[in-house]
Each structure stands twice: as C-alpha cells, then as structure tokens.
A and B are shown apart, each in its own frame.
Chain A
Amino acid sequence: MAVVIFFILAAGALVFAANVVFRRNPAICAVNLVGVFFCLAGIYLLIGFPFLAALQLMVYAGAIMVLFVFVIMLLDLRQEEPRDTPMATMLAPLFAAVIVALLVTVLGDIKVSTRNLPTRAMGQTAAEGGKGLATALFSKNLLAFEATSLLLLVGILGVVLLAKRRHRASENLDAVLAAAKRPSDTGDASTAPSVIAEPTPEPDPDVVTTGGGTA
C-alpha cells in the first residue's frame, strides 16, 4: 500500500515539477511548486520522517511560497517570451538529459553504508526519531546550527538593506550629518528632524537607477 502511495506521490511531484519548468505564467508555476512541496512532504511522511514533513510544509509550502506569490503579485509580471538564443534552448534539454542519465546511474545503484549500525530501527516511533534528531542537532551539530542562525540574521539585515530605497535614506542621512556639523547655527534643533520628516517626492525609476549605482 505504501508503495502505491509512493508511486502516486512521485508521479505527482514529477508532473508538478514539469509544470513549474514548462508553464509560461509565473503564477501557475508557483501553484505547481506548491504541489511539488506537498508531494515531497507526503513522501517524507511515508518514509518515516514526520518532523521533516511538517517542516517542509511550514517552511517551503508556507513561508517560501508566500514570498514567491507575494513577489509575483507585487511585480505585476507579464508572460515571458521565449529566449532569443535558440542555441541555448536546444542544448539545455540535452544537457539536462545527460545529467539525469548520470544521476540515475549513480544514485540508482547507490549503497548506503550501514556498517556498525542496526539497519532499520524496527518499531521506532516518530517521537523517538524526533528525539534523536534533536539530540544530534543540539549536541554534535551545534556549531552548524548556530551558523545557520547567524546566516538567518545576516539574511534579515541584507534583505532590509536591499529592499530599502537606498539613495533617499543616504540623502537624508547626509542632510542630518550636514546639519549636525554646523555648530554655529544655535537653537535650530528642529532642522535635523524636519529634514527626516520632509516627504521626498516619489522618484522616477531612472532617478533610482542613477542614484543606486553609486551606493
């Protein structure tokens, strides 16, 4: 029974993935990507990783897809035209076919070494598997765990910097700094805040291009 469900999920994952790659409309691609994530979560559940299945649904199907759909909505995308370079379009499927042949050859015959280990823990419950994962994550791999937390922090900072309209912020900062450098102007403490509060007109995209180039 598990085998039948596995084949249904695997076929579903492949069909959804093909839709992601070959559909023109990015919104349809995003919906199909959600399908891939759901099928993979089902497979994780089937092969005995309920925690990873939950994580897959929460992080991929939840958080990452929300980001994708949000960006698609925000950017008002058109359908893409086919590439101007037919050579690359012809060669890429060939290349991918070679890669899939290589990967299937190598991965299909792979033997996972189970020496010095009980091959499958029969009757191992999901809770015990989760306990093993937690123990390994927070003891042996603690450094990697902390490194990913640092990566998340740096990622947050980078996204904030990237998403900000940099030139306007730096202009404001320059104005504030210039105001602060004038010690002779006494009693105009309101200058600096007024510079910040002053609404800047919405910049032209071209202006953004030239302004962002220097930043």
Chain B
Amino acid sequence: MIASLSAVTEAAVQAGRGMQIETSWLMILAAALFSLGMLGFLIRRDLIVVFMSIELMLNATNLTFLAAARERMLDPDGQVYAVLVITVAAVEAAVGLAILIAFFRHRATLDIEVATELEG
C-alpha cells in the first residue's frame, strides 16, 4: 500500500511532464469511492441516502471495469460489462425507490431503524 501511495505522490510530482494516467490511480480512486459508499451504507439512517451510497459503490465498480478495459483497448468486454452494470443500476434504483415509497406509505418515515420487521 505504501509502495502504491508513494508511486502516486511521485507521479503527481511529475504530473506536468506529459505523463499518462496510470491504471492504478483509477483503481485507487475507485477503491476510495467504493469505501465512501460503503461507509454511507453503514452509518446513514435515511433509506434514500443508503440508496445513494449503493449508487456510489456501483459507480466505483464501473470505474474499475473501465480502468481495466483501457489497458485492453482492443478487447471491449470491460465496456460491455460497464453498460450492463449501468442498466442493472437503473433497474435497481427504480425498484428500490418504489419499495421506499411503499415503505414510506406504511410507516410515514424513511428511518432505517424503523424497518426492523420484514412484514408489510
């Protein structure tokens, strides 16, 4: 980890010299975004913000797919998976928000600690 971090800082120092964006930087950015999303998923009480955290995590995984796909530019599989992930994320958001509205209609709140029983 220290090696990769020092590599990043060293690369940042040399940023002005016409460098290329390293794949590991993209991966580290994706890791940070995923962890922030997971943190939000764990500590937030508001269901809608929990959903936003899930979207953050999905975006981070997409970034890893694309970072790997950039290395293999002639192999478009990474892009294909990114497209599929975006589609699944759209469906997930729609279904999740519908569940959220149904929950709000029953309980008049979006507090995640009210959702303790799995019954309508």
Interface residues of A (CB under 8 A from B): 1-4, 6-7, 10, 13-14, 17-18, 20-21, 26, 29-30, 33, 36-37, 40, 43-44, 46-49, 51-52, 55-56, 59-60, 63-64, 67-68, 71-72, 74-75, 77, 80-84, 88-89, 92-93, 95-97, 99-101, 103-105, 107-110, 112, 114, 117-121, 124, 129, 132-133, 135-137, 140-141, 144-145, 148, 151-152, 155-156, 158-159, 162-163, 205, 208-209, 212-215
Residues of A within 8 Å of B102, CB to CB, are 162-163, 212
Contacts known (A20-B56, A96-B38, A118-B74); A83 close to B89, Cβ less than 8 A: no
Are A26 and B46 neighbours in the complex by a CB distance under 8 Å?
yes
Q: How many residues of B contact A (CB 8 A)?
A: 89
Compute the total of residue contacts between A and B using a CB distance below 8 Å: 275
Q: Closest approach, in angstroms, between the C-beta of B5 and any C-beta of chain A?
A: 7
Residues of A within 8 Å of B99, CB to CB, are 162
- 3 closest A-B pairs (Cβ-Cβ)? A108-B4, A103-B31, A107-B27
Task: Find the residue from A40, A63, A212 having the highest chain B CB count within 10 A.
Answer: A40
A112 to B23, CA, bound (A): 9
Q: What is the predominant secondary structure among interface residues of chain B facing chain A?
A: helix
Q: What is the predominant secondary structure among interface residues of chain A facing chain B?
A: helix
**Other 12 A-B pairs with CB < 8 A, given A4-B16, A99-B35:** A18-B36, A26-B49, A44-B66, A96-B36, A99-B34, A103-B34, A105-B1, A108-B4, A108-B7, A108-B31, A137-B80, A205-B106
